[in-house]
């Protein structure tokens, strides 16, 4: 068996309570690596096309990566995937914390769940042993109560780690998420709704096993490097966290504001990472084997505002979604929204975007006090924002409509409401403004999961001379302006985004500043493979190509690779560096990308030759019915 892995993938059928194990060959691990590679394989290879995302035949895959669970900085990440109930296509989200590491140390590289349980259950994985246990007594509980109850029931061991859902997943909110360890969210794609549809409240894992490493001396050497150097490389992440650059984004017109109407927020200083650090932050936490500790912990105990530090604190995406994008400058209210989402199990990005969508509808008289249940949804109203988050989780009033996603809500509201739904493939934008970065705009349009920043491109990385070593080693030698969308930009996007997928496959945090060569060296030390950057990058390309094939099999087409109308418009108050995305230029860039990737220029379908070249010729059979 390949070192660094267990060689075992746990299979669970909740309909009849069966469990079994897939023991995959070494070639499986080298070809797919982990994370999205495992997810895409199982969704394509074992799931029929056209299944109901909330039905028994959808697979829910919890997948670790090559790094996951090994004692090296950044190895705390894992992935969750399924057919997305929000987009109808490929769904995946990666997540930090401790659950992924514990799962692997407990004896399994992944868990693949199918079926629907006749009653609420949780899965208990303890050093290779598996039990399906009754969860009726905790169905309806928030994540904190769920974690406390399960840990107590299993002997009070606080090192039992959980991947779980809250009431949002139970109520099938289309963007409900899976929560790891209370503070870490597999946020996008609606994985929590799929978990809820299966009546699976949680997976609890505890493992005392050590994962073998092929070259222990080399592995220790690499591990020591980041232990010794993380402060000089990642201090800002530790000090002010991901919201540390929020003011800078506002200054250049790249901070989503009032549902992406603007790119600058006049109160940005009030909600930045520095202000958070200096006011309500009480501590820092991190993920498995990581000294950076970039996670915020906040605590507030005031009349009408009580925030439990056990839920951690907001990161940039949450502050952007509930802060500037809702016109709100109150860090306490934003932090309370974060706590509610972690307790209920909701994606803070999609939930915040649902609130900002409703606010714009309200300000354009498409929603009224009568249709909001008396809520004044003017931009900046923090109390109404918090109330609406609770209504979404519980599917009450307007919240029931917004729980279906903003595209569905816009179709129901009518008028010009669809103009205010800022989505790709039904998934709302993350908090990154692509009218100042057109390569990123292309990335949003092409993303198989809908708008996503985790496998995207930051145009400033190639906007100025001299280009950094990190992009030159990918073969990118020409600087291109931020709002250019020429073939040179498309080529750079293709290389960078294919590499971004590698992080997810490996279970490696992209905030840790390993070089690409170091990442390849770590994989070699773990597994014993004599791998290189080229092979890893091909694995990333293989993963995104499989995700593309899944989407096309499920009925998505090149027409779904589009941006919302707002990205073709200037900000309400024009800002520096801004340039709307020309839809004709975007179409040409898409076709250029298809050709570069070996996909059909007209349809975007991966060609037979490309699938053969990536050593996944079997995927072509999944697409044959489309011809």
Single out the residue of 329, 327, 341 nearest to residue 272, CA to CA.
329
Residue 575: pLDDT band by 50, 70, 90 thresholds? Answer: low
Single out the residue of 131, 160, 92, 94 nearest to residue 12, CA to CA.
131
Same domain? 369 vs 303 = yes
Q: Please, are residues 461 and 468 in contact by the beta-carbon 8 Å criterion? A: yes
Q: Is the pLDDT of residue 566 over 70?
A: yes
Single out the residue of 514, 525, 603, 591 nearest to residue 558, CA to CA.
603
Same domain? 518 vs 612 = yes
Q: Which helix (H) or strand (E) holds 18?
A: strand 18-22
Same domain? 255 vs 137 = no
Single out the residue of 205, 226, 254, 271 nearest to residue 460, CA to CA.
254
Q: Is the pLDDT of residue 275 over 90?
A: yes
Q: pLDDT tens-digit profile of 119-142?
A: 999 999 999 999 999 999 999 999
Residue 573: pLDDT band by 50, 70, 90 thresholds? Answer: confident
Beta strand 305-307 with 300-302 is antiparallel
Count the residues in the chain.
627
Q: Helices 583-597 and 487-506, interaxial angle, to 10°?
A: 60
Residue where a domain stops, chosen among 206, 231, 259:
206
Using alpha carbons, list the distances in angstroms from residue 73 to 236, 301, 458, 551. Answer: 16, 34, 24, 34
Overall domain count for the chain: 3
Same domain? 166 vs 250 = no
Task: Write out the DSSP string of 28-69.
Answer: HHHHH-STHHHHHHHHHHHS-TT--TTSTT--EEEEE-SSTT
Residue 622: pLDDT band by 50, 70, 90 thresholds? Answer: confident
Using alpha carbons, list the distances in angstroms from residue 526 to 211, 223, 287, 290, 394. Answer: 9, 11, 20, 18, 45
Whether pTM > 0.95 for this model: the answer is: yes
What is the 8-class DSSP label of residue 361?
A: H
Residue 232 lies in a domain: no
CATH value at residue 510 = 1.10.599.10
Same domain? 45 vs 152 = yes
Residue 449 lies in a domain: yes
* Phi, psi torsion values for 3, nearest 5 degrees: -60, 150
Same domain? 187 vs 289 = no
Residue where a domain stops, chosen among 206, 221, 238:
206
Averaged pLDDT of the chain: 96
Q: Is the pLDDT of residue 175 over 90?
A: yes
Same domain? 359 vs 476 = no
Q: Token pair for residue 356?
A: 């900002």
Instruction: Say what the pLDDT of residue 465 is.
Output: 87
Indicate left, alpha or beta for 564 from its phi (over 0: left) and psi (-120 to 50: alpha): beta
Q: Please, are residues 176 and 86 in contact by the beta-carbon 8 Å criterion? A: no
d(CA 30, CA 333): 46
Using alpha carbons, list the distances in angstroms from residue 233 to 30, 101, 295, 511, 514. Answer: 30, 24, 17, 10, 10
> Cα-atom radius of gyration of the chain, to the nearest Å?
23
Instruction: Say what the pLDDT of residue 626 is.
Output: 72
Instruction: Say what the pLDDT of residue 261 is.
Output: 97
Verify cis geometry, omega within 30 degrees of 0, for the bond prior to 134.
Answer: no
Q: pLDDT tens-digit profile of 471-484?
A: 999 999 999 999 99
Residue 398: alpha-carbon gap to chain centroid: 26
Rounded to 5°, the CA angle 123-17-37 comes to 60
Q: Between these two residues, 627 and 564, which has the higher pLDDT value?
A: 564
Residue 228 lies in a domain: no
Q: pLDDT tens-digit profile of 19-35?
A: 999 999 999 999 999 99
What does the pLDDT average to over 540-549? 98
Same domain? 353 vs 407 = yes
Residue 230 lies in a domain: no
Q: Please, are residues 262 and 356 in contact by the beta-carbon 8 Å criterion? A: no
Residue 220 lies in a domain: no
Q: Please, are residues 314 and 325 in contact by the beta-carbon 8 Å criterion? A: no
Instruction: Say what the pLDDT of residue 627 is.
Output: 67
Task: Give the range of the structural domain holding residue 149, as residue numbers without chain letter.
Answer: 9-206
Q: pLDDT tens-digit profile of 233-257?
A: 999 999 999 999 999 999 999 999 9
Residue where a domain stops, chosen among 371, 394, 428:
428
Instruction: Say what the pLDDT of residue 624 is.
Output: 82
Same domain? 424 vs 486 = no
Q: pLDDT tens-digit profile of 315-334?
A: 999 999 999 999 999 999 99
Non-local (6+) Cβ contacts of 319 within 8 A are: 243, 246, 271, 276, 331, 334
Same domain? 196 vs 76 = yes
Residue 358 lies in a domain: yes
Q: Please, are residues 8 and 21 in contact by the beta-carbon 8 Å criterion? A: yes
Same domain? 523 vs 562 = yes
Q: Please, are residues 331 and 341 in contact by the beta-carbon 8 Å criterion? A: no
Q: Which helix (H) or strand (E) holds 583?
A: helix 583-597
Q: pLDDT tens-digit profile of 50-65?
A: 999 999 999 999 999 9
Same domain? 535 vs 616 = yes
Task: Write out the DSSP string of 73-107.
Answer: TT---EEEEEE-TTTSSEEEEEE-SSHHHHHHHTT
Q: Please, are residues 66 and 527 in contact by the beta-carbon 8 Å criterion? A: yes
Residue 618 lies in a domain: yes
CATH value at residue 364 = 1.10.569.10
CATH value at residue 70 = 3.60.9.10
Beta strand 78-83 with 90-95 is antiparallel
User: What is the end-to-end Cα distance of the chain in Å, rounded?
Assistant: 39
Residue 3 lies in a domain: no
């Amino acid at each position: 068996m390949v070192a660094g892995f267990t060689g075992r993938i746990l299979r669970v059928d909740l309909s009849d309570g069966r469990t079994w194990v897939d023991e995959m060959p070494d070639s499986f691990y080298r070809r797919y690596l982990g994370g999205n590679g495992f997810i895409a394989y199982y969704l394509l290879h074992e799931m029929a096309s056209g299944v109901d995302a909330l039905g028994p035949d959808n697979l829910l895959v919890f997948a670790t990566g090559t790094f996951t669970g090994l004692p090296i900085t950044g190895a705390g990440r894992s992935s969750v995937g399924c057919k997305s109930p929000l987009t109808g296509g490929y769904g995946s989200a990666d997540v930090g914390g401790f659950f992924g590491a514990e799962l692997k140390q407990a004896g399994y590289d992944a868990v693949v769940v199918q079926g629907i349980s006749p009653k609420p259950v949780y899965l208990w994985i303890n050093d290779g042993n598996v039990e399906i246990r009754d969860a009726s007594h905790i169905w309806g509980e928030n994540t904190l109560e769920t974690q406390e109850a399960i840990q107590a029931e299993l002997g009070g061991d606080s090192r039992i780690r959980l991947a779980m859902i809250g009431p949002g997943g139970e109520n099938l909110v289309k963007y409900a998420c899976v929560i790891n360890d209370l503070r870490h969210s597999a946020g996008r794609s609606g994985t929590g709704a799929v978990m809820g549809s299966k009546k699976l409240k949680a997976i609890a894992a505890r493992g005392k096993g050590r994962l073998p490493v092929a070259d222990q001396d080399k592995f220790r050497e690499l591990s020591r490097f980041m232990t010794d150097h993380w402060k000089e490389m990642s201090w800002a992440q530790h000090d002010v966290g991901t919201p540390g650059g929020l003011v800078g984004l506002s200054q250049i017109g790249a901070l989503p504001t009032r549902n992406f109407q603007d790119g600058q927020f006049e109160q940005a200083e009030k909600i930045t990472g520095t202000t958070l650090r200096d006011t309500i932050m009480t501590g820092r936490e991190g993920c498995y084997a990581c000294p950076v500790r970039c996670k915020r912990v906040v605590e507030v105990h005031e009349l009408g505002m009580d925030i439990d530090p056990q839920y951690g604190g907001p990161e940039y995406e949450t502050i952007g979604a509930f802060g500037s994008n809702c016109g709100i400058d109150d860090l306490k209210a934003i932090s309370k929204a974060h706590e509610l989402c972690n307790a209920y199990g909701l994606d803070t990005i999609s939930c915040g975007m649902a609130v900002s969508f409703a606010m714009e509808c309200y300000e354009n008289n498409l929603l009224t006090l009568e249709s909001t249940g008396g809520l004044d949804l003017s931009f900046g109203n923090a109390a109404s924002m918090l109330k609406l988050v609770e209504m979404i989780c519980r599917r009450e009033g307007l919240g029931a409509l917004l729980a279906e996603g903003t595209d569905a809500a816009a179709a129901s509201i009518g008028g010009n409401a669809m103009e205010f739904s800022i989505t790709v493939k039904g998934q709302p934008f993350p908090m990154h403004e692509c009218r100042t970065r057109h390569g990123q705009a292309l990335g949003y349009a092409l993303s198989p999961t809908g708008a996503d920043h985790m496998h995207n491109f930051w145009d400033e990385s190639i906007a100025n001379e001299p280009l950094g070593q990190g992009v030159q080693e990918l073969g990118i030698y020409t600087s291109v302006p931020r709002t250019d969308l020429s073939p040179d930009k498309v080529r750079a996007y293709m290389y960078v985004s294919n590499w971004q997928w590698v992080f997810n496959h490996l279970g490696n945090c992209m905030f840790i500043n390993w070089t690409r060569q170091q990442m390849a060296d770590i994989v070699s030390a773990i597994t014993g493979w004599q791998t290189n950057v080229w092979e890893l990058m091909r694995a990333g390309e293989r993963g995104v190509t499989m995700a593309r094939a899944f989407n096309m099999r499920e009925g998505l087409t090149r027409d779904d690779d589009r941006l919302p109308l707002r990205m073709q418009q200037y900000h309400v108050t024009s800002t520096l560096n801004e340039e709307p995305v020309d839809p004709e230029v975007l179409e040409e860039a898409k076709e250029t990308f298809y050709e570069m990737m070996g996909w059909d220029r007209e349809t975007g379908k991966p060609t037979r030759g490309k699938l053969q070249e990536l050593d996944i010729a079997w995927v072509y059979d999944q697409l044959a019915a489309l011809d």
